[in-house]
Amino acid sequence: MPEPLLQVNDLKVHFPTDDGLVKAVDGVSFQVMPGETLGVVGESGSGKSVTFLTVLGLITTRQAIIEGEVIFQGQDLLKVPPEEMRSVRGDKISMIFQDPMTSLHPFYKVGAQIGEAIRAHQDVSKKEALQQAVEMLQRVGIPRPDERANQYPHEFSGGMRQRAMIAMALSLNPDLLIADEPTTALDVTVQAQILDLIDRLREEFNASIVIVTHDLGVVAEHCDHLQVMYAGKIAETGTSDDIYYRPHHPYAWGLLGSIARLDHAERERLKPIKGLPPSLIYVPSGCSFHPRCPYAFDRCKVEVPELLPIDGQHAAACHLPLADKERIFAEEVAAR
Amino acid sequence: MGRYLIRRVLFLILVMFIVSFLTFLIFYKLPAGDPARRVAGHRNTPEQIEEIRHTLGLDRPWYVQYGRFAKGLIPWPGWFLNEQVYYSYANFVPVKDEIYERLPVTITLTVGAAVIWLLIGVPIGIVSAIKPRSIWDRAGMVFALIGVSAPVFWLGYLFLYIFWFKLGWAPGSGLAYNATLAESIAQGKFVLPWIVLSLAFAAFYARMIRGNLIETMSEDYIRTARAKGLSERRVIFKHGLRSALTPVVTMFGMDVGVLLGGAVITETVFNLPGIGQYTVQSIFADNYPGVMGVTVFATFFIIVANLVVDVVYAFLDPRVRYA
């Protein structure tokens, strides 16, 4: 088996606040293989964004307590001094963010902002950097790129801005691209375009990609692996098919149930997951999902379930006996 | 850009009209005493008063009077502060001459203080923002609190007491009778006024810049800049400050505009013969044309400052140009 590109071991990110310790990420381990696309799915506050901001060293809260290992190309990024970390950011690992409306600086031209990223890592003139920026804009499908490079972000539509962000992120040919909710702020039609673009660029640039999202339906077909997060922990992980067709965690069932599908009968309503995501300060005892889980039993309230392998790379953290899971999924979830 | 400018200019004309009309009402229609009677002095006859009223045009319809008055607002040779209206009947000198004579002092005071308050306020604001809760931040914000709270007249006398009376480091108030402006500056006559006038502004600017910069640094595009791998210095100075300082430019233009219309308290405390002092003297001497003249003059400066700020802002923030 080849070496993983990114290996995260028992990562914990805690923020002390006046109200108590916020356990945003609480013991997360996973890996990203070269050339694969990993989807990280979870509700707001599940710790998915914080996990990857930590990978890039973008957690700026001074008091944050970060433990564990983030091994990227054999180097623990959590131990790299801030100045050296700069040469990783943007160059080897780059990131695009949820809201393209606010992620570009409103006062600088788009081409210049991309050029700035290039010049942060390569010794080229401003003119050369701009030329590369124009080329990148073209590759992400922006028409008339030389004109567009000379415009300000407010002259771009949302989808175009996200394309520009992608162009910026890929301009240095990174090994890993982290896309944090890249389509959430966009129209549905544009969402598909952006995801297709990311797919295409993965092959062209030969990069590994992590797509962080709350929308399981959107990413399933674009990802090799999926990882479901809940309350700062991984609830279930596996190949896209594992999660989509054979999910073992009731939370994953809930996520699947809340996807709108056109082939469903009209009368059928979406099935939301009852309740709210838990407080990350007062995390429920045992399995943190148990207050919202319709199948919870006594053990769930006391004992924290471990992420146990099922078969191959498929693993889930749930106390339900295997037979019960298969029965419930077949009768109640898949039947819908 | 052209259309934006035209719109701004039209808007400013409207503002000028409103200000001038209100000023006109205050000075002409609510006078504390009949201007004609005031000009005539203590020994007068009804005929004299009538004659003066006619000379001053006070017997003409109100719109003619307003027209003459408003003409003084228009920066056109012979119109601006015209002598028909803006003529001091306290000492029979055109108000324009009085103002122009005092303007250099006010400009010197304002420009010097503006430079100092930027030199103090901007660095304190930046340091406080990038090292929040540090000892530098605390010290800076204590300075800001004192600067904002201390009244200028108190600070002025305090400084005079300490640095002139007790320590003898700085010259006292007032300018030498026949010294030129350059000589007065060389004598250090402006040092204390500059510092005193600038402190309150420096404190205010430090606070504003700190607040703006802290807010800007939590913007998404700052995270993008960091994600690009830029140095923290570049993130702060190129991406953060650019956004945080833009509103400060607006403030600065307005403040300078207002001060050019007369730094009343500072000029009074330090006995500087500027426009602010003239305003005070005119008020105490019931010199209505003088007060009107200063009002018009200050309005003019504020309006020009507004226009300049709007134009500069359009260059600084590309989003404004097409708005």
Buried b (16+ CB within 10 A) or exposed e, A169-192: bbbbebbbbbbbbbbebbeeebbe
| Best of A94, A105, A156, A168 to mutate (most B CBs within 10 Å, chain B) | A105
Length of chain A: 336
Average pLDDT over residues A224-228: 92
Per-residue model confidence (pLDDT) at position A260: 62
Chain B residues lying within 8 Å of A103, measured CB to CB: 220-221, 223-224
Is the per-residue pLDDT at A266 higher than 60?
no
- CB-nearest to A104 from B221, B316, B322 is B221
Going by pLDDT thresholds of 50, 70 and 90, the confidence category of residue A83 is confident
Binary contact (B229, A99; C-beta < 8 A):
no
Is the confidence at residue A78, as pLDDT, over 80?
Answer: yes
pLDDT of residue A265: 57
Between the alpha carbon of residue A262 and those of residues A243, A301, B11, the distances in Å are 20, 37, 54
| Partner residues linked to A309 by β-bridges | A315
Q: pLDDT tens for residues A244-262?
A: 888 889 998 888 877 666 5
Predicted local confidence at residue A268, as pLDDT: 62
Distance in Å, alpha carbon of A115 to nearest chain B alpha carbon: 10
CA distance B189 to chain A (A): 42
> Quick check: B220 and A102 CB within 8 A?
yes
Kindly state the greatest CA–CA separation across chain B: 85
Q: Provide mean pLDDT across the span A230-246.
A: 91
Q: Which of B284, B44, B240, B223 lies closest to B130, judged by CA? A: B240
Nearest CA in chain B to A113: B225
For residue A334, pLDDT over 80 is answered with: no
pLDDT of residue A131: 94
Categorize the per-residue pLDDT at A335 as very low, low, confident or very high, splitting at 50, 70 and 90: low
**How many Cβ atoms sit within 10 Å of the Cβ of residue A150?**
14
Alpha helices in chain A (DSSP H): 48-55, 82-88, 100-103, 110-121, 126-139, 145-148, 158-170, 188-205, 216-219, 240-245, 250-257, 298-302, 322-328
Is the per-residue pLDDT at A292 higher than 80?
yes
The secondary structure element, H or E, covering residue A177 is strand A176-180
**Is residue B231 within 8 angstroms of chain A, CB to CB?**
yes
Q: Is B316 on the interface with A (CB under 8 A)?
A: yes
pLDDT category at A283 given cuts 50, 70, 90 is confident
CA nearest A68: which of A58, A60, A59, A78? A78
- Distance between the two ends of chain A, CA-based, in angstroms? 38
Please provide the distance, in angstroms rounded to a whole number, between the alpha carbons at the two ends of chain B.
10
List CB contacts of B245: < 8 A, sequence separation 6 or more: B122, B209, B212
For B27, list phi and psi in degrees, rounded to 5.
-85, -30
Q: Do B223 and A97 touch (CB under 8 A)?
A: yes
The Cα of A273 is separated from the nearest Cα of chain B by a number of Å equal to 30
| Residue range A7-28: mean pLDDT, rounded | 92
Amino acid, res. B157: Y
pLDDT band at A273 (very low <50, low <70, confident <90, very high): confident
Q: Chain A: which residues have CB within 8 Å of chain B?
A: 56, 58, 60, 82, 86-91, 94-95, 97, 99, 102-108, 116-117, 120-121, 152, 154, 165, 168
Report the pLDDT value the prediction gives residue B123, as an integer from 0 to 100: 94
Looking at chain B, which residue has its C-alpha nearest residue A87? B229
Query: What is the pTM assigned to this prediction?
Result: 0.83
Two structure tokens written together for B14? 């409207």
Interface test with B, best of A61, A86, A165 (most B CBs within 10 A): A86
Residue to substitute from A107, A118, A154, A210, interface B, most B β-carbons within 10 A: A107
C-alpha A238/C-alpha A240 separation (Å) is 6
d(CA A30, CA B189): 71
Q: Is B233 on the interface with A (CB under 8 A)?
A: no
ipTM over 0.90: no
Task: For residue A108, give both structure tokens.
Answer: 């600088």
CB contact under 8 Å between A90 and B227, yes or no, is yes
CA A22 vs. chain centroid, Å, equals 20
Residues of A in contact with B318 (CB under 8 A): 106-107, 152, 154
Which SS3 state, helix, strand or coil, does residue B81 take? coil
Which residue numbers in chain B have pLDDT < 50? Answer: 323
Quickly list H helices, A122-182.
Answer: 126-139, 145-148, 158-170
At B239 the pLDDT is 93
B185-195 exposure pattern, b = at least 16 Cβ within 10 A, e = fewer: beeebbbbbbb
Closest by CA position to A24, among listed A16, A9, A14, A34: A14
Sheet (strand A314-316) strand order: A93-96, A176-180, A208-213, A37-41, A225-230, A233-239, A314-316, A308-311
- Per the CB < 8 A criterion, the answer to whether B235 and B225 are in contact is yes
Residue contacts between A and B (CB atoms, under 8 Å): 74
Confidence category of residue A263, pLDDT binned at 50, 70, 90: low
Q: Which of A21-30, A220-229, B292-301 has the lowest mean pLDDT?
A: B292-301
Give the count of beta carbons closer than 10 Å to the beta carbon of residue A35: 15
pLDDT of residue A278: 83
**Cα–Cα distance measured from residue A213 to residue A190, given in angstroms and rounded to the nearest whole number:** 16
Which residues of chain A have a CB within 8 Å of the CB of B221? 102-106
Average model confidence (pLDDT) for chain A? 88
pLDDT at B1: 67
Q: Do B319 and A152 touch (CB under 8 A)?
A: yes
Considering only the beta carbons, identify the residue of B226, B234, B319 that sits closest to A154.
B319
Give which of B56, B57, B69, B60 is closest to B27, Cα–Cα.
Answer: B69
At residue B279, φ and ψ (nearest 5 deg) are: -60, -50
Q: How confident is the model over B173-221, as pLDDT tens digits?
A: 888 778 788 888 888 888 899 999 999 999 999 999 999 999 999 999 9
Longest distance between any two alpha carbons in chain A, whole Å:
66
Pick A106's closest partner by Cβ from B223, B225, B319. Answer: B319
pLDDT for B17:
84
Question: What is the rounded distance in angstroms from the CA atom of residue B166 to the CA atom of residue B159?
Answer: 10
Taking the Cβ of residue B227 and every Cβ of chain A, the question of whether any pair is shorter than 8 Å is answered with yes
Across residues A2-10, what is the average pLDDT?
91
Residue appearing with tokens 């989808």:
A159
- Quick check: B221 and A120 CB within 8 A? no
